[in-house]
Chains A and B, each alone.
Chain A
Amino acid sequence: MNVLTLLDMAATGTPDRVGVGRLTYSELLDRARAGAALLVAHGVDELVYVGENADDFAVALFAAAWAGIPLVPLNYRLSRDALERLLAHHPNALVISDLLVPTTARTVTVAQWRASSAEPAGDVSPCSDDPEAVAVMLYTSGTTSEPKAAILRHRHLTSYLLGSVEFGAADEQEAVVVSVPPYHIAGVSNLLSNICAGRRVVYLETFTAQGWLDCVRSERITHALLVPTMLAKITEYLGQTPSADVPTLRSLAYGGAKMPIPVLERAIRLFPAVDFVNAYGLTETSSTIAVLGPQDHRAAVQDDPVARARLCSAGRLLPGIEVEIRGPGGVLSDGAAGDIHVRGEQVSGEYRGAGSSLDSDGWFATRDRGWVDEDGYLFVEGRSDDTIIRGGENIAPAEIEDVLLEHPAVADVAVLGIPDEHWGQDIAAAVVFRPGHTASTEELRQWARARLRGSKTPALIVVRDALPQTATGKVLRRELLADLLATELASTT
């Protein structure tokens, strides 16, 4: 099965309903057909999209699916060098971009792509139903290493969609605002899930807190997905306002990076009538594999201590997903922290040029550390690579980050290990203050020491205006580490 089938079905069932931007499902299908004809005529192997969130992205995704070639969305904010390195992997592609991209491949502007896909298409062969065909290649964020291109085949995406979305279940009034970037798995799954559900997709090209709120009000948005930094910006923007005044909004999902609990609690207060959903997943797992639902969020703010602790969890696994927590000696029991492994039909775990990373039984090592409680709630502590080993003790940065985030002056924080002669690694923290707030680094150390053991108190705390982050709010730890090492060096010489 091909993801195009889902659009085809939407166009069969509700041809005149607006699906994406101003396009109806049947118009979107027509444009995908015309786009596919162009791709076939050029004989290209891949379609690369280096652009913003727009209808054109949806057309590109389905045109590539129709032509049976992968869509490769790239981050248009990358430096020219970084873009050149990625584009070098795709010499036989058609590249859609308004930038003067460094590539020898054939290039069209977004406007040219839009014009060609709006023309009536000639004969195009029906799409192949090959479930093994590659639907998208997505470069992982590469927060700790060079980006890798994760391969998602049509069978991965369609099994995710069939397993998690009821076709056509949305009523005609429902609309979702998509503000996550198209080169991120959430941008791909957000589009596909909502087409499958029959919920109108409204693209917000550039995110600002006010722009998002304006869009929710003017487009009568009912559903939204935000990454934590976006929700943080919205709560800061609303400040002491009693509520966000978005009467149509029913559901707010968040994911893509770790959500600071103080931000979430402010958001729940500002959006009292809204269902909150925490979605955890990875590019390699075709998006969401665990969900913390609205009931869990409500229970958490009603002083139920178990539910409150679970607000820090990723919730329960989707029905089609199995999980194992593994340590050095094998599978661990409930409650013990280790490496999170998952298995299921939506799990790809395959990278371009490297093949499948699944083990012989189909398990994928997420490289996230975490544990599962007795009721099946998955707690994700962070990347295994980020674990600090101080004097033989494994320390999850998230635990220290959570404590520092509770400090009223702290807006954002990242904790990481820095080389130390005595301990092997010691703990460093980079903090960003909320506007108009400040604290001394000694006060922050005292704050941490009072709430954690001394061995978990950061040896070094630096203050920064902002942390280096990906567009979805994941901290670029390589860059931050280089920054901290330079700071430490400067202070000792």
Chain B
Amino acid sequence: MTDLVPGKRLRSNVGDTEIIVVRSPATQIELSCGGQSMTANLETVAAATTSTDENDTVLGKRYVDTDTGLEVLCTKPGPGVLTADGRQLTVKAPTALPASD
């Protein structure tokens, strides 16, 4: 189990997905992508998995686990759903702000 502190980067074991932790969870959790634990070893080459659009992670989206407050940012997209202890992470709705700068 990896310590999910802000700034921590993790990589999927089933595809190209990479995330960075934005907000820590309140309790220790297991973060997975496509049903397999994510790894802090960024050099790992994941086995090729067939992409199924609706289950892909999306670049630049933030995903949250409402139970623990975990928030991650997808820095590289890939196949597979993100889960925290089996719970599916949800996409954090973007803030509807006008461009101010």
Q: Is the CB of A164 within 8 A of B95?
A: yes
Q: Is the CB of B6 within 8 A of A288?
A: no
Does B75 have its Cβ within 8 Å of any Cβ on chain A?
yes
Question: In residues 47-73 of chain A, which contact B (Cβ within 8 Å)?
Answer: none
Q: Is the CB of B100 within 8 A of A13?
A: no
Which chain A residue has the least Cβ–Cβ distance from B93? A166
CB distance from A57 to the nearest CB of B (A): 15
Give the 5 A-B residue pairs with the shortest CB-CB distance, closest first: A167-B60, A279-B100, A166-B94, A129-B7, A13-B59
Does A471 have its Cβ within 8 Å of any Cβ on chain B?
no
Mostly, the B contact residues are loop
Question: In residues 120-175 of chain A, which contact B (Cβ within 8 Å)?
Answer: 129-131, 155, 162-169
CB distance from B60 to the nearest CB of A (A): 3
Can you pick out 7 interface pairs between chain A and chain B where the beta carbons lie within 8 Å of each other?
Answer: A1-B20, A9-B76, A12-B76, A131-B7, A162-B73, A164-B97, A166-B94
A193 to B9, CA, bound (A): 22
Q: Is the CB of B75 within 8 A of A9?
A: yes
A195 to B97, CA, bound (A): 16
Q: Which residues of the partner chain B approach A288 to less than 8 Å between Cβ atoms?
A: 100-101
CB distance from A180 to the nearest CB of B (A): 8
Does A441 have its Cβ within 8 Å of any Cβ on chain B?
no
Q: Is the CB of B101 within 8 A of A130?
A: no
- Assuming the A-B contacts A1-B20, A13-B60, A167-B60, are A277 and B98 also in contact, with contact meaning beta carbons closer than 8 angstroms in the complex? yes
Per-position binary interface string of chain B over residues 66-101, scored 1 when its CB falls under 8 Å from any chain A CB and 0 otherwise: 000000010111000000000000000011011111
Query: What band does the interface of chain A fall in when counting residues whose beta carbon is under 8 Å from B?
Result: 35 or more
Partner of B98, one of A9, A129, A190, A275: A275
Per-position binary interface string of chain B over residues 34-67, scored 1 when its CB falls under 8 Å from any chain A CB and 0 otherwise: 0000000000000000000000000111100000
Q: Which residues of the partner chain A approach B95 to less than 8 Å between Cβ atoms?
A: 163-164, 166, 318-319
Does B22 have its Cβ within 8 Å of any Cβ on chain A?
yes
Q: Is the CB of B98 within 8 A of A294?
A: yes
Q: Is the CB of A251 within 8 A of B99?
A: yes
Q: Which residues of the partner chain A approach B77 to less than 8 Å between Cβ atoms?
A: 13
A residues sitting closer than 8 Å to B (CB atoms) are 1, 5, 8-9, 12-13, 129-131, 155, 162-169, 176, 186, 189-190, 193, 197, 199, 223, 225, 251, 253, 255, 275, 277, 279, 287-288, 291, 293-294, 318-319
Centre residue among B59, B97, B99 by max chain A CB count within 10 A:
B99
Centre residue among B9, B60, B73, B101 by max chain A CB count within 10 A:
B101
Q: Is the CB of A169 within 8 A of B20?
A: no
Q: Which residues of the partner chain B approach A190 to less than 8 Å between Cβ atoms?
A: 101
Partner of A1, one of B7, B99, B100: B7
Q: Is the CB of B22 within 8 A of A9?
A: no
Which chain A residue has the least Cβ–Cβ distance from B100? A279
- Assuming the A-B contacts A12-B76, A131-B7, A166-B94, are A253 and B61 also in contact, with contact meaning beta carbons closer than 8 angstroms in the complex? no
CB distance from B58 to the nearest CB of A (A): 9
Number of B residues, CB within 8 Å of A:
21
Partner of B99, one of A131, A162, A193: A193
A1 to B59, CA, bound (A): 16
Q: Which residues of the partner chain B approach A9 to less than 8 Å between Cβ atoms?
A: 59-60, 75-76
Q: Is the CB of B94 within 8 A of A1?
A: no
Centre residue among B7, B75, B98 by max chain A CB count within 10 A:
B98
Partner of B59, one of A162, A165, A168, A199: A168
- Assuming the A-B contacts A9-B60, A12-B76, are A1 and B6 also in contact, with contact meaning beta carbons closer than 8 angstroms in the complex? yes
Q: Is the CB of A131 within 8 A of B73?
A: no
A279 to B100, CA, bound (A): 6
Q: Which residues of the partner chain A approach B61 to less than 8 Å between Cβ atoms?
A: 167
CB distance from A66 to the nearest CB of B (A): 15
CB distance from A223 to the nearest CB of B (A): 5
Which chain A residue has the least Cβ–Cβ distance from B42? A126
Which chain A residue has the least Cβ–Cβ distance from B73? A162
Question: In residues 8-22 of chain B, which contact A (Cβ within 8 Å)?
Answer: 8-9, 20, 22
Q: Is the CB of A130 within 8 A of B7?
A: yes
Q: Is the CB of B100 within 8 A of A162?
A: no
New A-B contacts (14) at CB < 8 Å, excluding given A199-B99, A253-B101: A5-B20, A5-B75, A12-B59, A129-B20, A155-B6, A162-B22, A162-B62, A162-B73, A167-B59, A168-B60, A193-B100, A225-B100, A277-B98, A277-B100
Which chain A residue has the least Cβ–Cβ distance from B6? A131
Q: Which residues of the partner chain B approach A189 to less than 8 Å between Cβ atoms?
A: 101
Q: Which residues of the partner chain A approach B7 to less than 8 Å between Cβ atoms?
A: 1, 129-131
Q: Is the CB of A255 within 8 A of B99?
A: no
Partner of A277, one of B22, B59, B94, B99: B99
A164 to B76, CA, bound (A): 21
Q: Is the CB of A12 within 8 A of B75?
A: yes
Which chain B residue has the least Cβ–Cβ distance from A8? B75
A318 to B101, CA, bound (A): 13
Q: Which residues of the partner chain B approach A193 to less than 8 Å between Cβ atoms?
A: 99-101
Which chain A residue has the least Cβ–Cβ distance from B92? A162
CB distance from A299 to the nearest CB of B (A): 14
A112 to B33, CA, bound (A): 45
